[in-house]
Amino acid sequence: MSRRSKGPHLWLHRRPGYAATWRIIDKGRQISTGFSEAEYREAEEALARYIAEKYNPRKSSSLNEIFIADVIKVYLEEHVPTTKRPDFLIYTAESILNWWGEKTLAEVRKTTCEQYLRWRVKQGVKESTARHDLKTLRSAINYYHKEHGPLPAVPAVTVPQAPPPRMDYWLTRKQVADRIRVARKNPQWRHIARMLLIGVYTGTRPGAILDLRWVPSSEGGWFDLESRHKEAPATSAHSCAPAAPLKALA
């Protein structure tokens, strides 16, 4: 059985004596993005443009004639750049194009969604990752229906039910330290190490961490380095407990 192509994806090209740069790999071809290792976000945007330009959408009123690649192209070009996390949607779109790209909207049904789920899990990703992929596919179809439709019928994307959250789960000191070490090794993940440290030492939720400021703000919390407290925003009714000094975990 032939191995399915990974589809267009980014690859970090390293050469002795030269700065590493991101390249787009597509069926053996290498296309330079012109961006360095530290410019991963810009490289992802270049990948999104490449994927969008690769496909030429065709107008049709029949689900049998509308390719999912065309739907994803429109979604990447028009909607994704306006979202808060375009890099995440671009990542999920890569796998969708790889498996669904040559299929039409008429082929979106429960059985094909389940086949896609099994295919993604065999790649070594968690079911939750495949679930996010399918959510992106559903969002793309809904966007296409709203902005370029109406479609004669909107295909139902079957997304597996998420498992209930674990209420008795917490990380040990060693587990936190292991995650921080892994994050620090990859330039793309170093911000995660900082988030882990802030979360562990202050008990702040991820969303609130992203809104933290270095100066007093009415839109989010901020750090008072002199008193070693994390202050709440002026509009918040929640108090904040004293924070321990941020330091690297051994």
Within this chain, do residues 109 and 144 fall inside the same structural domain, yes or no? yes
Residue 199 is assigned to a structural domain of this protein:
yes
- Which one, of 136, 121, 134, 98, lies nearest residue 4 by Cα? 98
- On whether both 70 and 143 belong to a single domain, the answer is yes
CA-to-CA dists, residue 36 to 24, 69, 161, 187, angstroms? 13, 29, 39, 11
Q: Is residue 115 part of a domain?
A: yes
Task: With cut-offs at 50, 70 and 90, classify the pLDDT of residue 202.
Answer: confident
With contact defined as beta carbons under 8 Å apart, do 97 and 51 qualify? yes
Same domain, 195 and 140: no
From first CA to last CA, the distance across the chain in angstroms is 47
Kindly report, residue by residue over 101-121, the tens digit of the pLDDT: 888 999 999 999 999 999 999
Among 114, 148, 182, the domain boundary falls at 148
Overall number of domains in the chain? 2
Instruction: Check whether residue 60 and residue 124 sit in a common domain.
Output: yes
**Would the pLDDT of 200 be above 70?**
yes
**Rounded mean pLDDT, 89-112:** 89
Distance (Å, rounded) from C-alpha 100 to C-alpha 138? Answer: 12
The C-alpha angle with vertex 89 and arms to 73 and 44, in degrees rounded to 5, equals 80
Q: Based on the domain organization, do 140 and 190 belong to the same domain?
A: no
* 191 found inside a domain: yes
Q: Does residue 209 sit within a domain?
A: yes
Q: Are residues 61 and 126 in the same domain?
A: yes
248 assigned to some structural domain = no
What does the pLDDT look like over 167-190, one tens digit per residue?
667 778 888 899 898 888 888 888
Secondary structure class of 245 (helix, strand, coil): coil
Q: Which of 131, 148, 165 marks a domain boundary? A: 148
125 domain residue, yes or no:
yes
CATH classification at residue 117: 1.10.150
Per-residue pLDDT reduced to its tens digit, 5-47: 456 778 888 888 888 899 888 777 888 888 888 888 788 778 8
* Parent domain of 187: 173-231
What pairs with residue 15 in β-bridges?
18
| Residue 29 placed within a domain | no
CA distance 154 to 145: 7
Percent of the chain with pLDDT over 90: 19
Q: Is residue 138 part of a domain?
A: yes
